[in-house]
Amino acid sequence: MATMKRKQVVDTEGWTHVVRKPRGTGYSKDRRVVRSNTHAGDFEINGVPYLDRTLENLHQEFCHWKKEWEESSACEKLQILLLKRKGSCGMKKVSNIVVLGLGSLLSARRDARRSSGTQLAAVQTILEILGPEIPVVVQDPQYTETDETFLSTRGWRVVKDPQAFDFVCESSLVFAVHCYIEIYKSIASRNKAPAVIIGTKMDNFKRMENSLDMIETALLLDNMVEECEAIDFPQIRYDFSDTKIYWRKK
């Protein structure tokens, strides 16, 4: 059996990566883990390049994105609009948060890590305003075991696709920014629409009405948010481009 020696490599951003044998990463057998043959990452899963970082490395970089987010005007604007609607008797109350498609914090692409880190920081802001005791469920097929451990240490429940949809109910806040249309379709197919949906502007999917199935899906999405107040999500770079907060009225 071939082996791979452990070694430390410092990248151009100053981070230390521990490169090791793929079998030691602990991923499930149905995910193809190989050492990356490109300079983009340390290893790949199903062709997607990742960085091999420790929990401490991951935490340090997330703190950087979190600080940047908390010092932005977008964070302040989000806090104000959440506080205003949290105290409104005319808006649905939130009992749990379901986070979908946040992306891996170990992506080899720096802009992808930045977006994921910023969006994660925004979820924390939402949680702080609505109630730190609210349970959070997170799901993304691209999570590594390190991602899952990092999120679990925050007290959040990490589940495998598609288990998170079972946690969506009429008092849920669903955070699904820049997700595929199938994700929103799965949410809309629930018996009861969630109290709040933070995701891509649903009107955008009308541009894709090139088949009967797409027309029906666009109509389903319209129906899901028709009784909601639609609010523009505060912008920082392109991390929340075309993102709306759909908050259901009582």
Please state the domain extents for the chain: 7-52, 71-248
- pLDDT single digits (tens) 59-75: 999 999 999 999 999 99
Question: What's the token pair of residue 159?
Answer: 């589940």
Question: What pLDDT score was predicted for residue 210?
Answer: 78
The pLDDT score that the predictor gives to residue 79 is: 97
| 202, 222 contact by CB (below 8 A) | yes
Mean pLDDT of 35-53: 83
Of the pLDDT bands very low, low, confident and very high (cuts 50, 70, 90), residue 177 is very high
* DSSP SS3 for 23: helix
Confidence (pLDDT) at 207: 83
Task: Tell me if 227 sits within 8 A of 250, measured CB to CB.
Answer: no
User: Structure tokens of 56?
Assistant: 């401490």
Q: Taking 50 as the threshold, does the pLDDT of residue 236 lie above it?
A: yes
**pLDDT tens sequence across 71-114:** 999 999 999 999 998 877 778 889 999 999 999 999 999 999 99
Give 71-248's CATH code, choosing from 3.40.50, 3.30.70, 2.40.128, 2.60.40.
Answer: 3.40.50
Q: How far apart are CA 207 and CA 224, in angstroms?
A: 18
